[in-house]
Amino acid sequence: MKAEFIKQKGGWRDVADCANVTIHKDAGTNEPSSRWKRRMALAEHSPIRQLIFDFRWTELPSWVSVHFVRHKIGIEHWVRSQRSDRTGVDRTKLPQDNPVEHRIEVNAQAMIAISRKRLCACASPETTQAWKAVLETIKESQPELYAACVPDCVYRGWCFEYKSCGWFRTEAFAKRLAEYRAGINETPAAT
């Protein structure tokens, strides 16, 4: 399985311009600061939906693809057909781990929401690995968004899974939660 970044639509300047509309300000000209981007990502204000990304997985097991197709808000999916009339292979004979190509177009807010479920230790390891591969493709270019993509227990500060893995009771969790929350209660810098 391999994840590939294809392209980005919209940028942080677009996010800032839309945010300015909501607070009765004119569009700006400067690139927003890293601190402002981080606060916007963590607050998940609607303008972050201006950041849209295209990704593609190749050789993704079909059953893992199904896990991602369950996400519907802020994401579109295109999965290579396994129809017998298109492939020449009897679909009923294909195993669940038959590899597929799966392309997505996803906005920043949906990436945060998907991360909450797919980075959880209760998610299948293969699905977590596939999602981490997507996140790694934006780690350098979008560090503020990358940092906002955390498992649900970090996002909420506690685990609400029916069968918790127990990580939220560890020192490692406390450290990760503190890193996630660092600086969020400070007065935000201007765009």
d(CA 47, CA 97): 38
d(CA 184, CA 137): 25
Residue 30 resides in a domain: yes
Q: What is the pTM of this model?
A: 0.92
Say what the pLDDT of residue 123 is. 97
Q: Report whether pLDDT(95) > 90.
A: no
Residue 159 resides in a domain: yes
Q: Report whether pLDDT(15) > 50.
A: yes
Question: For residues 165 and 121, is the Cβ–Cβ distance under 8 A?
Answer: yes
d(CA 170, CA 114): 24
Q: Residue range 58-69: average pLDDT?
A: 97
Q: Return the half-sphere exposure (C-beta side, CA atoms, 13 A cut-off) of residue 47.
A: 19
Q: Show the domain range for 105.
A: 2-181
Residue 186 resides in a domain: no
pLDDT 10s digits, 133-145: 999 999 999 999 9
Say what the pLDDT of residue 191 is. 46
Tokens standing for residue 13: 């300047």
pLDDT 10s digits, 21-49: 998 888 887 889 999 999 999 999 999 99
Give the chain's mean pLDDT: 93
Residue 187 resides in a domain: no
Q: Residue range 58-73: average pLDDT?
A: 97
Say what the pLDDT of residue 28 is. 82
* Exposure letters 91-125 (e unless 16+ CB within 10 A, then b): eeeeeeeebbebbbbbbbbbbbbbbbbbbbebbee
Q: Residue range 59-86: average pLDDT?
A: 96
Say what the pLDDT of residue 185 is. 64
**Domain count of the fold of the chain:** 1
Residue 84 resides in a domain: yes
What SS3 state is found at 152?
helix
Residue 99 resides in a domain: yes
Residue 189 resides in a domain: no
pLDDT 10s digits, 130-175: 999 999 999 999 999 999 999 999 999 999 999 999 999 999 999 9
Residue 172 resides in a domain: yes
51 to 13, 31, 97: CA distances (angstroms): 10, 14, 32
CATH number, residue 140: 3.30.1360.170
Q: Report whether pLDDT(65) > 70.
A: yes
Q: What residues does 76 pair with on adjacent strands?
A: 105
Say what the pLDDT of residue 31 is. 86
Comparing CA positions, the residue from 20, 6, 72, 17 lying closest to residue 50 is 17
Q: Report whether pLDDT(64) > 50.
A: yes
